[in-house]
């Protein structure tokens, strides 16, 4: 079995043991990243590592590894994985002080650091052909959704509701605005524009979202408007899709009881998705 990187060592997954006093376990006091590789080439490693540094900074944990050290860890995980398409998981918590206390340990203790790889399953061609179903749920998250915190209870409860409803994603709605998915960013085609929520504390700044926006701007693919999407406009959108590192651009053709557009993945999604696949091949390392 492929080894995992755990607190500076390479060990078998079953040998990577976390203390019961780890603050990730006790408080969800940590952050994470999910970084994809396709054909054993990393996509977006630098923006993912930048986001990790930012998340750590926002919660006052020093990044335990340099950029190059992280890249070396990622390279080894990708090389050792059984499959060519890989999903890398990184988690850093505030470590395991001797005593449980809400305040940060002072002086700080060593963070707990994990990086592991697993096969990345592509979205099935059947789903890409017909599009996926989504449901809307109230956004129950906190006020700093821009931090990629391991505190994911509202996200996992939302995703579980989606699964129970036979849907692929839950779209989170705050004050009447559709912001993002439980684990993805949200895009809608409305009146010739591509709409997505702006960066800020209410969404996670997705690496896939930004890569797509960069590509759209570079190749002038479609006008983009960054604004939250009122829920009734989402139901009336010509097209809807969600983006994430593990699902690329996933077309959504049903939301609750509403059929999106003509019920099939739309022309804009097809165009952007093909352009994005080519872009990934171009910029992966
Ligand atoms: N989630 N928004 C949320 C709340 C997310 O959890 C994610 C990713 C995204 C998309 O970000 P990116 O394009 O950088 O993957 C947006 C990962 C995949 C996860 O939790 O497994």
Average pLDDT over residues 113-136: 96
Q: Can you tell me the mean pLDDT for 216-228?
A: 98
Residues 66, 165 within the same domain: no
Could you tell me where the DSSP H helices lie in the chain? 23-27, 45-58, 67-80, 125-130, 153-164, 207-219, 231-235, 267-283
Query: What range does the domain containing 61 cover?
Result: 4-119
Q: What would the pLDDT profile of 32-72 be if each residue is shown by its tens digit?
A: 999 999 999 999 999 999 999 999 999 999 999 999 999 99
Q: Is 185 in the pocket of ligand 1 (CB under 6 A)?
A: yes
For residues 51 and 169, state if they share a domain.
Answer: no
Q: What CATH number did the domain enclosing 81 receive?
A: 3.30.470.10
Residue 196 and residue 186 in contact, taking contact as beta carbons nearer than 8 Å: yes
* Residue with CA closest to ligand 1 atom 4: 183
Q: How many domains does the chain have?
A: 2
Same domain, 177 and 200: yes
pLDDT digits (tens, 9 = 90+) for 169-219: 999 999 999 999 999 999 999 999 999 999 999 999 999 999 999 999 999
243 lines ligand 1 (CB under 6 A): yes
Check whether residue 85 and residue 132 sit in a common domain: no
| 72 and 24 belong to one structural domain | yes
User: Does residue 24 sit in the same domain as residue 138?
Assistant: no
CB of 141 closer than 6 angstroms to any ligand 1 atom: no
- Based on the domain organization, do 72 and 182 belong to the same domain? no
Instruction: Please give the helix or strand (H or E) that residue 114 lies within, else none.
Output: strand 112-119
Stretch 247-274: mean pLDDT, rounded?
A: 98
Residues 146 and 270 in one domain: yes
Helix and strand tally (H, E) in the chain?
8, 16
Q: Which atom of ligand 1 is nearest to the CA of 247?
A: 18
Q: Are residues 268 and 134 in the same domain?
A: yes
**Same domain, yes or no, for 56 and 195?**
no
190 bridge partner residues:
193
Domain check: are 46 and 185 in the same one?
no
**Catalytic residue positions, numbered:** 148
- 97-121 pLDDT, tens digit per residue, is 999 999 999 999 999 999 999 999 9
Nearest residue (by CA) to ligand 1, atom 8, is: 183
Q: Is the CB of 209 under 6 A from ligand 1?
A: yes
Q: Is pLDDT of 284 > 90?
A: no
**Cα distance between residue 184 and residue 149, in whole Å:** 14
Domain boundary at 119, 152, 185, which? 119
Mean pLDDT of 258-274: 98
pLDDT value of residue 1? 59
Which CATH number fits the domain that encloses residue 218? 3.20.10.10
Same domain, 101 and 192: no
Ligand 1: does its nearest atom lie under 6 Å from the Cβ of 206? Answer: yes
Tell how far the Cα of 229 is from the centroid of ligand 1, in angstroms.
19
- Residue after which a domain boundary falls, among 68, 102, 119: 119
* Residue that is last in its domain, among 64, 84, 119: 119
């Amino acid at each position: 079995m492929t080894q995992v990187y755990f607190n500076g060592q390479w060990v078998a997954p079953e040998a990577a043991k976390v203390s019961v006093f780890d603050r990730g376990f006790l408080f969800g006091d940590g952050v994470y990243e999910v970084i994809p590789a396709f054909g054993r080439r990393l996509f977006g490693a630098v923006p993912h590592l930048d986001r990790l540094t930012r998340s750590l900074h926002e919660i006052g944990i020093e990044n335990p590894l340099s950029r190059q050290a992280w890249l070396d860890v990622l390279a080894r995980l990708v090389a050792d994985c059984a499959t060519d398409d890989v999903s890398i998981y990184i988690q850093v918590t505030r470590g395991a002080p001797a005593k449980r206390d809400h305040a940060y340990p002072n002086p700080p203790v060593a963070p707990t650091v994990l990086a592991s790889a697993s096969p990345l399953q592509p979205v099935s061609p059947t789903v890409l052909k017909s599009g996926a179903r989504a449901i809307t749920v109230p956004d129950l998250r906190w006020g700093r959704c821009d931090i990629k915190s391991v505190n994911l209870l509202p996200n996992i409860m939302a995703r579980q509701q989606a699964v129970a409803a036979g849907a692929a994603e839950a779209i989170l709605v705050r004050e009447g605005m559709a912001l993002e998915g439980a684990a993805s960013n949200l895009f809608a085609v409305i009146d010739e524009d591509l709409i997505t929520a702006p960066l800020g504390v209410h969404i996670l700044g997705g690496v896939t979202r930004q890569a797509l926006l960069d590509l759209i701007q570079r190749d002038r693919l479609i006008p983009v408007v960054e604004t939250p999407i009122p829920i009734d406009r989402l139901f009336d959108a010509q097209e809807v899709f969600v983006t994430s590192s593990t699902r690329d651009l996933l077309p959504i053709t049903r939301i609750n009881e509403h059929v999106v557009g003509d019920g099939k993945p739309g022309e804009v999604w097809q165009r952007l998705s093909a352009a994005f696949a080519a872009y990934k091949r171009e910029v992966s390392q």
